[in-house]
Amino acid sequence: MSANPIHANALVLDGVGVVIRGTSGSGKSRLTYALLEAAGCRPSNEAGARTTADTALIGDDYITLDADEQLLASPAPNLPGRIEVRGIGILGLPWREKVPLALLVDLVPVSDIERLPDARTTTLVNQTLGHVAVPIGDLAHQMLLVRTAATLLRS
């Protein structure tokens, strides 16, 4: 399958490939940046450098997906190592490409989140991924849910 661009963010968090979906303005970049900053990734004014680290940006706003045996995420061709931080501008972060995805995060209104979901998996491009819905606007709760879901996938 050839690379397909999608409107989403992606990062690798302690070795777990994470894709974050949501409508424009829902906080995809804010959540991505907060997770990376909390994990020790430091921003710069220049585009970030390619890395092999276990925690890094994959892409902000648009990513490309390739699927064969695994679903791989890479930054959009013109955006590697860059993320928009509202109120500051475009910053650079270490980045990776062709990262196998394991977790899909959907930013949704809190009223759409099940207290005890039946399934914690979903399908994206014919691949099964872990799944968690997180509430729009509650950054601390979002971070807790994403980090917990990623930890469960590692164990």
**82-85 and 62-67 beta bridge pairing:** unpaired
- What does pTM read for this prediction? 0.95
pLDDT in tens, 93-126: 999 999 999 999 999 999 999 999 888 999 999 8
Q: Mind listing the domains of the chain with CATH numbers?
A: 4-154 (3.40.50.300)
Confidence of residue 2 (pLDDT cuts 50, 70, 90): low
pLDDT in tens, 41-98: 999 999 999 999 999 999 999 999 998 889 999 999 988 999 999 999 999 999 999 9
Strand runs (DSSP E) across 1-155, as ranges? 4-7, 9-13, 16-21, 56-59, 62-67, 71-75, 82-85, 89-92, 99-108, 121-124, 127-135
Residue type (1 letter), 26 = S
CA 131 to CA 18: how far, in whole Å? 10
